Chains A and B, each alone.
Chain A
């Protein structure tokens, strides 16, 4: 069975600095998708970025980018120029490429942004 591990329960970063959140996963599949979701306090979960395993190029969305290391089964999220609004729980998630596959979630990393 697939698992997702986020080894950092809590992280903090100074405003305008860069922070990297780690995520590792375990799978025997070769084709899958990886996602980072953000959940601000008392607000809804939203997608930050996604990566297809067959793509070698790391996904980027504005200040958010990933470092996808397929052989190492690592999928870290880098947030550049951190803003106060980035403070949230960040969840890493995995989904296999087969039919009717559901997301496998990590336990999350709580990110604090210090002014």
Chain B
């Protein structure tokens, strides 16, 4: 297994456009997380799935953000009508279901909204 994979690595888009990111977790991991990280800050939780169920979504997340994990494997994160404030690194992580199981992170997708 090659670890958590995220695509694309970089995305530049104009304000108002929609973007979609993909995350492929480690195959045996049933939990999948999305985080947002801005420069010099720690990861900010967005949402997470256990298998195909979305168990929690951050209250900070506006309705423009939506995530899916339809078959309990890969996940997509869509941002509609992007704003300049959405510019950040979007990190995906996966883990086993046990709470002592560490998160394994992907390389992230860097979004720049112009």
Taking beta carbons and an 8 Å cutoff, which residues of A are in contact with B?
Answer: 33, 35, 37, 43-47, 50, 52, 91, 95-103, 105-108, 110
One of B20-28, B64-72, B75-83, B97-105 contacting the partner: B97-105
Q: How many A-B residue pairs have CB under 8 A?
A: 49
Number of interface residues of B (CB under 8 A): 21
Task: State the Cβ distance, A58 to closest chain B Cβ, in Å.
Answer: 16
Complex: chain A residue closest to B108, CB-CB: A44
Taking beta carbons and an 8 Å cutoff, which residues of B are in contact with A?
Answer: 33, 40-43, 45, 48, 50, 55-56, 91, 93, 99-100, 102-108
Residues from chain A with Cβ under 8 Å of B93 in the complex:
45
Residues from chain A with Cβ under 8 Å of B106 in the complex:
44
Q: Is the CB of B42 within 8 A of A100?
A: no
Q: Is the CB of B42 within 8 A of A33?
A: no
Q: A35 to B48, alpha carbons, bound, how many Å?
A: 19
